[in-house]
Amino acid sequence: MSENTPIPPFPPFTLETATQKVRAGENGWNSRNPEKVSLAYTVDSRWRNRAEFITGREQIVPFLQRKWDRELEYRLIKELWAFTDNHIAVRFAYEWHDDAGNWFRSFGNENWQFAENGLMAVRHACINDVPMKEADRKFFWPLGQRPEDHPGLSSFGF
Over the stretch 78-98, which tens digit does the pLDDT of each residue have? 999 999 999 999 999 999 999
Other Cβ atoms less than 10 A from the Cβ of 105: the count is 19
- The span from the CA of 10 to the CA of 8, in Å, is 5
pLDDT for 109 beyond 90: yes
Do the bridges between strand 41-49 and strand 72-84 make them parallel or antiparallel, or are there none, so unpaired? Answer: unpaired
Residues 12-22 have pLDDT tens digits of: 999 999 999 99
When pLDDT is averaged across residues 126-146 and rounded to a whole number, the result is 97
Q: Give the pLDDT confidence of 31-51 residue by residue, as tens digits.
A: 999 999 999 999 999 999 999
Instruction: Return the domain boundaries, the chain.
Output: 15-140
Look up residue 155 and give its DSSP letter: G
**CATH entry, 15-140, from 3.10.450.50, 3.90.1560.10, 3.90.1010.10, 2.120.10.30:** 3.10.450.50
Q: What is the mean pLDDT of residues 120-132?
A: 98
- 118 secondary structure, DSSP code: S
**Quick one: which of 108, 115, 102, 98 has its CA closest to 21?**
115
* CA–CA separation, 122 and 111 (whole Å): 8
**Whether the predicted pLDDT of 4 surpasses 90:** no
pTM over 0.85: yes
Q: Does 3 score more than 90 pLDDT?
A: no
CA distance to 10, 15, 113, 127, per residue, from 116 (Å): 6, 17, 10, 27
